[in-house]
Amino acid sequence: MLLASSGRSGSTWLSDVVADAFGCRVLFEPLRPKRLRPPEATLWGYYVDPAVADSGLETSLGRILAGRVRDEWVDRFNTRRISRNRLVKEIRATNLLPWVVAHFRNVPVVYLLRHPVSVAVSATALGWDPCLDDFLGQRPLMDGPLLRHAGVIARLAAGADLFERHVLRWCLENVVPVELLPAGSVHVVFYEALVEDPEGEFHRLLTFLRRYGAGGWDAPGVVRPDFERASITNLLGTAITLGPEALDAWPPAATPDRVDRAVAIAAEFGLDRIYGTSPRPQIDPAEVLLGPSPP
């Protein structure tokens, strides 16, 4: 399975849940180590047109998805000597999802979304660089799915504060999969739904994974995971540890002005239909993806 999301979206927590339930070996962010990274995919937000055949990328990602890589970073959280399944957890691959779905049809893909305000507040507090030049320097991306957004991207990348640039980054990482992935091609999960109803979301995920039963996702050994255990990357005491009531209001760092600015930026990309001024998503997961159905 491939689990993809923006950073600070709860993907480590979800990967822990899945690993506990299915006895997975977790490949933790394998696109980070330079020696494992496909030569082409050196940039954040790397994009390839789904219709383009790229044998080098297919070989490199194929090795990762098949688990044929070992690395101190990739295997840092693994405690199992024998695993029934495999989970690749990656925060650099959202813009590659349309290509992955087109070229690795037997790989179950889980696409995790979290409100851009929460993502940007967390990344800003940690002082992360949004690395916008990685996105802006990709001609296939900027002249392709992001072309109609070029004006707002240039304006925000040049003049916005760090919080707004992280919101912009979230948009650049998510507008591509939202607009290009066909409905039903991946399993869409909201972080907020995981916080509010982890049992229900786990069973919804289980139903999706059982479509790929040959990989062992339908095995009788599935166990109930520990939903209340925070991940090792939960650096700021986020809602997993604070409980569902944390979704009833924004944290102090998410000031009304920041929330309004973030939603206005998301609206430039049409993503405000997913997340508005409420901490919760505005639509169902089945309504997120807008891509055309394959012929």
pTM over 0.85: yes
For tokens 């001024």, what's the residue?
Answer: 277
> What does the alpha-carbon distance between residue 136 and residue 173 come to, in Å, rounded to a whole number?
12
Check residue 218 and give its pLDDT. Answer: 63
Segments making up each domain of the chain, as ranges: 2-287
Assigned CATH topology for domain 2-287: Rossmann fold (3.40.50)
- Rank 143-152, 223-232, 237-246 by mean pLDDT and report only the highest: 143-152
Q: Is the pLDDT of residue 8 over 70?
A: yes
* Beta sheet of 24-28, edge-to-edge order: 24-28, 85-90, 2-5, 109-113, 187-190
Q: Pick from 201, 9, 181, 161: which is nearest to 92 by CA?
A: 9
Residue count (the chain): 295
> What does the alpha-carbon distance between residue 285 and residue 188 come to, in Å, rounded to a whole number?
6
Confidence class of residue 231 from pLDDT cuts 50, 70 and 90? very low
Rounded mean pLDDT of 121-143? Answer: 96
Rounded mean pLDDT of 145-151? Answer: 97
